[in-house]
Amino acid sequence: MGVIVEESGRRSVQVEVEIPGTVEEAWRAIATAEGILSWFVPAEFAMDDDGQPERIRFNFGPGMASESKVTAWEPPHSFRSVSSDFVEEGAPVTTEWQVEAAAGGGCVVRVEHSLFTDSEERDAHLLGVEAGWPGFFRLLQIYMTDFRGQPCSTLEYSATAAGDAPAWERLGSGLGFAGGEAGELRAAPAGAPRFAGRLDRKSDDTEVTMRLEEPTSGVAHLYAMPADGIQIISVRLYLYGEDAGEVVARELPEWRAWMQEQFPS
């Protein structure tokens, strides 16, 4: 959609997704720590004396946390928060989440980021945020379709590589998903961690989603992202079920060792 510019100086981007489930189920997925962890990143809610959310903190990885102040809370349909660290040295950014019933069943979840400025300087950042949501919203769709309400534990690891290194190709070949088409069953070769499932999208880009069968039922989200002359390589497995925590505890040491070998600091 791109950046929407209003005469008032308000600039915004908006992304939405249609998902199965009731409005209440969608609200739990986007407005509780347990729900958000099931498809996005770890989140913490700080409550005020009345038990209402006062602040929200999202942890995107080592040194990459974002905190915002909740300014409106209207369950199960909307909430709004304002962050001063969303854009570095920029104007405060307001994020508003909305949930509404869809005409044909299910729900529409919508997120909007906005700020006030008379400059185009922050448009690139807003567009980058807009471009990041479709991948996570696909995870939300899968969660709500196949794993709604199940306990979730995440296995995640991030590494860095030189900006010109073939890091994504190394990850793809090492885990066996390189060159695959959507719907194909792929598995990591010997010597790699337990990792197998069906590709949810073609894997020749720098972002892949897989419906996992190994190490247990779940979803994998893998991507490479440029940042200040380097590449950030991220692996995040969302594992579901009562034993998901045990699986993460068992598998994480092997993933950590393998990633360190592939992408030494």
CB atoms within 10 A of CB 32: 15
Both 140 and 219 in one domain: the answer is no
Domain boundary among 147, 176, 193: 147
Q: What are 161-199's pLDDT values in tens digits? A: 999 989 999 999 999 999 999 999 999 999 999 999 999
85/13 same-domain check:
yes
Same domain for 22 and 95, yes or no, is: yes
Same domain for 59 and 31: yes
Q: Do residues 133 and 203 share a domain?
A: no
Claim to verify: residue 160 and residue 142 sit in the same structural domain: no
Domain endpoint, select from 124, 147, 170: 147
Looking at the structure, do residues 37 and 93 belong to the same domain, yes or no?
A: yes
pLDDT on residue 240 = 98
Residues of the domain holding 254:
152-262
One domain for residues 156 and 138: no
* pLDDT for 8: 93
Which of residues 147, 174, 198 is at a domain's end? 147
Residues 159 and 40 in one domain: no
Mean pLDDT of 103-112: 96
Over residues 56-91, the pLDDT tens digits come to 999 987 777 889 999 999 999 999 999 987 666 667
- Do 127 and 160 lie in a common domain? no
Average pLDDT, the chain: 93
- Region 16-33: mean pLDDT is 98
Split into its structural domains, the chain has a count of 2
pLDDT for 120 = 86
pTM: 0.94
**Which CATH number fits the domain that encloses residue 244?**
3.30.530.20
Are residues 207 and 89 part of one domain? no
User: Do both 142 and 157 map to the same domain?
Assistant: no
What pLDDT does 243 receive? 97
State the pLDDT at residue 203: 65
